[in-house]
Amino acid sequence: MSDERYTVILGDRRYGIDRKWARPAKPFGFLSDLMVDGEGRVHVAQRGTDRPVVVFDRNGREIGSWGEGVLAEPHYINAGNGGAILVADRDAHQVLRFDRDGKLLQALGRRHWPELDAPFNHPTAAAESADGEIYVSDGYGNSNVHRFAPDGRLLATWGQPGHGPGAFTTPHAIAVDRRGRVLVADRENNRVQVFHRDGTFAAEWGDFYHPMQIWIDDRGLVFVTDQIPRISLLTPDGELIGRCRGAINGAHGLSGDADGNLYLSELPPQEVTRLERLT
C-alpha cells in the first residue's frame, strides 16, 4: 500500500490529510460534529452512543468524555463566549450551554417538548454573537431561526417553509460573523443565506449542494461543507476563493484550531480527519 500523503489547497493555505486522526477508546457512534476549545482540545459530538461528546488532545489521543445522561442526540456543537460550548440537542428539542469541562450552565427550550414555529422542533445548531446573543437554526421540524438574549429570553423568530429570501428548507447550520451578520446553511435550497441580526435578509450565497456546516476562522473567512462532498472557502462577502475535497464521504461537521489546522467529522465510515496546515 502506498504511504504517500494527499494534500489539498484552500485559498492561500495547503493542508496534508490525516485520516483516522482521532484514536477513540471505543468505536465511534454516528459522528455529528466537532469543535476545538481554547486549549486545542477537540470535542467530538456523536449520536447513538452513551458517550455523547468525546475529547481528544492535540495528538488525537482520547482524554475524556462528557454529556452522559444529559445529551440525547447532539447534532451540532459550537464554541461560545468565554470558553463555553453550545450544543443543539436535536431530538430532545433543546439548546444547551456547557463549560469547557461539560458542566451544564444553561438550557433553552423545554426538554422533550417540541413546538411548531416556536423553540424548538428538532433544532440543528446554535451560535453566539460577541455580545452574548444566541441564534438557533431550528431546522428539522421547523423552518425557523430564533434569536435569544444572553439570559435566554426569546427576542425574535423568523423564517417559514419555502424557497424565497428568508424562507428555509432545512436550516441546517448557523454562524455569526465579525460584522454581527447571521449566516444560515439552507440545506435543501442549496444556499447560505445571510441576515442582519433583526432577521432582515441581506444576501444569498449559492453554488452549494446541500450545505452542511459553516465555520468562520480568525481571519473572518467562511468555510462551508456540502454533500458533493467538498469544502468551500469564501471571503466575508461571499466570494469563492478556495475549494477542495478533503473527506471520503463528506464532512457533516468542521472546525479549526489556532494553528490553522482543520478537523472534519466524517459521515459513515465514521472518522475524524485532520487537515494539517502545511503553508
Domain spans of the chain? 7-277
- CATH number assigned to the domain covering 7-277: 2.120.10.30
- Whole-angstrom Cα distance, residue 81 to residue 71? 20
Assigned C-alpha cell, 124: 440543528
The reported pTM is 0.97
Query: So what's the pLDDT on residue 1?
Result: 46
Query: So what's the pLDDT on residue 5?
Result: 86
Buried b (16+ CB within 10 A) or exposed e, 59-79: ebebeebbbeebbbbbbbbbb
Question: What are the pLDDT digits (tens) for 237-257?
Answer: 999 999 999 777 789 999 999
Q: Which segments in the chain show pLDDT lower than 50?
A: 1
Q: Which of 156, 132, 125 is nearest to 253 (CA)?
A: 125
- Whole-angstrom Cα distance, residue 213 to residue 101? 24
Q: Which of 108, 107, 52 is nearest to 75 (CA)?
A: 52
Query: So what's the pLDDT on residue 247?
Result: 73
